[in-house]
């Protein structure tokens, strides 16, 4: 393989990974904007999405077209229940307590998945076959196009939702100022519940499209969450477009790093970026540092 086609190959791998990280990052942002919470269980929603999809389509035998929405619904319900039972009952919790709660939630999901589906890896057939497409000397699986397409669909739907629907506008109002939002009649509690439901749904979508490319197992969530968070921070926490761009940057960095530097350390590379961004410019490349100083943490 020539160097050029190798680069093209790495580029597409990077974009694929980046799309997944972007979706995880979008999930982080939605909850963060509505509540100021970083949901440590975000990666587990991705894992649950993949696992439930595998279970529905292989063990139960549903066709993918039906299993896809059912999985999203299931994970959305799990996310909403998590908010209702673990976050909602807390009266004025400190940041430390919130971190521990979402962390505990992630362990519960992980342990539950291990209990139900075991420790082994699970696989899902590709959506439309595994015949590779050759572009500029690089071979690309059709699933790559699915992932990129679904990311675009998710972004477009979110853009429509936040700009043109009443609930979406209410959520943006809450992000700016919850007190003021409640004064004009927005139910902040409902918005918080909905933000958890929405972000778990996006997590589930990421999990479903990602599973055919890699194998899914019960403990894949933590690393996905970390890299997704890395994208969210790099793009400026709470910034939707930033999350997508930064997700792509992290994905590309990882695939080129694995190709040209070392595959053993490829996971460490993204985390190193996270540390560097946190240390040098915690507001991210698209964030305004003055604005981030006003945030509570």
Residues forming the site for another protein (CB under 8 A): 37-38, 40, 86, 89-90, 94-97, 99-101, 103-112, 114-115, 222-223, 226, 229-230, 233, 262, 264-265, 267-268, 271-272, 274-275, 278-279, 282, 296-297
Closest CB 297 distance from another protein, rounded Å: 4
Closest CB 265 distance from another protein, rounded Å: 6
Nearest to 93 by CA among 174, 32, 37: 37
* For another protein, the closer CB: 114 or 157: 114
Closest CB 61 distance from another protein, rounded Å: 28
* For another protein, the closer CB: 260 or 265: 265
* For another protein, the closer CB: 70 or 271: 271
Q: Distance (Å, rounded) from C-alpha 286 to C-alpha 155?
A: 17
What is the 3-state composition of the chain as percent helix, strand, coil, each rounded to the nearest 5? 75, 5, 25
* For another protein, the closer CB: 114 or 133: 114
* For another protein, the closer CB: 89 or 185: 89
- Going by their DSSP bridges, the two strands 138-140 and 133-135 should be labelled as antiparallel
Q: Is residue 213 a contact partner of residue 46, using CB atoms and an 8 Å limit?
A: no
Q: Which residues 6+ apart lie within 8 Å of 209 measured at CB?
A: 20, 127, 143, 146, 147, 150
Closest CB 144 distance from another protein, rounded Å: 26
Helix residue ranges per DSSP H, 36-94: 42-54, 64-82
Closest CB 22 distance from another protein, rounded Å: 18
């Amino acid at each position: 393989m020539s160097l050029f086609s190798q680069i093209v190959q790495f580029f597409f791998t990077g974009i694929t990974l980046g799309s997944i990280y972007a979706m995880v990052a979008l999930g982080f942002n939605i909850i963060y904007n509505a509540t100021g919470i970083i949901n440590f269980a975000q990666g587990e929603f991705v894992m649950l999405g993949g696992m439930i999809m595998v279970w529905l389509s292989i063990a139960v035998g549903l066709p993918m077209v039906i299993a896809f929405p059912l999985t999203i619904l299931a994970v959305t319900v799990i996310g909403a229940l998590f908010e209702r039972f673990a976050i909602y009952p807390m009266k004025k919790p400190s940041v430390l307590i919130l971190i521990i709660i979402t962390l505990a939630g992630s362990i519960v999901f992980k342990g539950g998945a291990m209990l139900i589906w075991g420790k082994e890896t699970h696989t899902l057939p590709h959506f439309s076959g595994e015949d590779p497409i050759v572009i500029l000397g690089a071979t690309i699986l059709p699933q790559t196009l699915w992932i990129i397409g679904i990311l675009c669909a998710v972004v477009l739907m979110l853009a429509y939702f936040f700009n043109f629907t009443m609930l979406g506008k209410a959520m943006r109002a809450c992000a700016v100022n919850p007190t003021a939002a409640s004064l004009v009649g927005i139910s902040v509690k409902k918005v918080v519940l909905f933000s958890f439901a929405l972000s778990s749904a996006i997590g589930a979508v990421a999990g479903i499209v990602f599973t055919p490319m890699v194998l899914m197992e019960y403990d894949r969530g933590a690393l996905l969450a970390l890299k997704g968070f890395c994208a969210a921070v790099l793009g400026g926490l709470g910034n939707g477009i930033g999350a997508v761009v930064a997700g792509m940057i992290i994905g590309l960095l990882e695939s080129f790093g694995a190709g040209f530097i070392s595959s053993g350390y490829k996971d460490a590379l993204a985390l190193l970026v996270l540390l560097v961004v946190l240390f040098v410019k915690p507001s991210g490349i698209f964030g305004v540092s003055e604005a981030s100083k006003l945030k509570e943490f």
